[in-house]
């Protein structure tokens, strides 16, 4: 399989702060790579370097076979980039926005391409509606349709489903998987762990440093976390007690349960032993989730904006 994204040592600083620090990434054709990390971790800066909008201070590599520094204009013409904020014209209709984007990209047979995009994203019946009157989910569909006007083989989607309802998110991901099955490569940043689990592979960045890459299963296994779930009464007080005990790495509330995790199974068992006999608490061994793993990573990664 050939790599659509293949970069090493990407570094970028602003105001003397390194916001991306020696990042390496490789994504094969037709794969969906989830790009995860806390706010301010360098995801957007990395995406902009990949598509030629920012020049890295250091590093090298290729995107769609083009050198990210010397051939940035060629990358820009061939990538579909969906920004965090809706960036189309709100005083134009859906059709007018798509027609404008087709003109920008010099698309041939423009009317047929626009009609096809409207049909594919179920926008035909709303084609005359102003973009500014659309809900978040419909704006998302329009933005994705605009990204696809010139037939890109790489999509860079920067938190595309933020603020969108669950049904619209599911429909969006169905479309993403159809595109990947057709050979389109997709790098998508997200904060939603259920979306991360839909990706073929993950890359997790925190405060400028890429911490881990791999499938969801590989990332969880690499964490070495052992997790128990507690259900019962007065979990708030229980959580406060458990956080201070040696052998416990993390205590995270999830609704009416607590996820209690450690990286040494024996030490964790000893820490929980005094609580296992309490009749008001039910304990169950469970698999750690991606959210457990990423919270653990965030807690142990220094913020690059700390003095």
pLDDT at position 39 is 85
Domain 3-220: state its class.
alpha beta
Segment 264-275, tens digit of pLDDT: 999 999 999 999
226-287 folds as Alpha-Beta Plaits (3.30.70)
Segment 65-76, tens digit of pLDDT: 999 999 999 999
The rounded distance, in Å, linking the Cα atoms of 261 and 253 is 12
Orientation of helix 136-147 relative to helix 110-120, angle to 10°: 140
Return all residues near 188 (Cβ < 8 A) that are at least 6 apart. 32, 33, 34, 35, 155, 157, 160, 176, 195, 199
Segment 127-158, tens digit of pLDDT: 999 999 998 889 999 999 999 999 999 999 99
pLDDT at position 305 is 55
pLDDT at position 283 is 94
Ranges of residues in the chain whose predicted pLDDT is under 50: 307
Determine the length of the chain.
307
pLDDT at position 269 is 93
Extents of the domains making up the chain: 3-220, 226-287
pLDDT at position 59 is 96
């Amino acid at each position: 399989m050939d790599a659509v994204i293949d970069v090493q040592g990407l570094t970028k600083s602003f105001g003397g702060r390194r916001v991306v620090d020696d990042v390496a990434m490789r994504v094969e054709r037709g794969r969906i790579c989830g790009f995860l990390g806390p706010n301010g971790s360098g995801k957007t800066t990395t995406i902009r370097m990949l598509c030629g909008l920012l020049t890295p201070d250091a590093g090298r590599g290729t995107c769609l076979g083009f050198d990210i520094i010397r051939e940035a204009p060629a990358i820009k013409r061939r990538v579909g980039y969906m920004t965090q904020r809706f960036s189309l014209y709100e005083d134009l209709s859906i059709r007018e926005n798509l027609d404008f984007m087709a003109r920008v990209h010099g698309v041939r047979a423009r009317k047929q391409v626009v009609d096809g995009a409207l049909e594919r994203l179920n926008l035909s019946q709303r084609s005359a509606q102003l973009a500014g009157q659309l809900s978040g989910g419909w704006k998302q569909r329009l933005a994705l349709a605009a990204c696809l006007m010139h037939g890109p083989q790489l999509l860079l989607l920067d938190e595309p489903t933020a603020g969108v309802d669950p049904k619209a998110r599911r429909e969006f991901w169905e479309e993403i998987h159809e595109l990947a099955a057709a050979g389109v490569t997709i790098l998508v940043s997200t904060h939603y762990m259920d979306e991360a689990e839909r990706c073929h592979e993950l890359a997790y960045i925190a405060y400028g440093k890429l911490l881990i890459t791999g499938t969801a299963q590989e990332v969880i296994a690499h964490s070495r976390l052992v997790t128990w779930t507690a259900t019962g009464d007065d979990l708030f007080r229980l959580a406060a007690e458990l956080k201070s005990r040696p052998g416990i790495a993390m205590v995270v509330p999830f609704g009416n349960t607590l996820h209690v995790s450690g990286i040494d199974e024996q030490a964790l068992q000893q820490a929980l032993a005094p609580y296992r006999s309490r009749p008001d608490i039910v304990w169950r061994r469970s698999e750690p989730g991606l959210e457990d793993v990423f919270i653990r990573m965030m807690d142990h990664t220094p913020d690059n904006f700390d003095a």
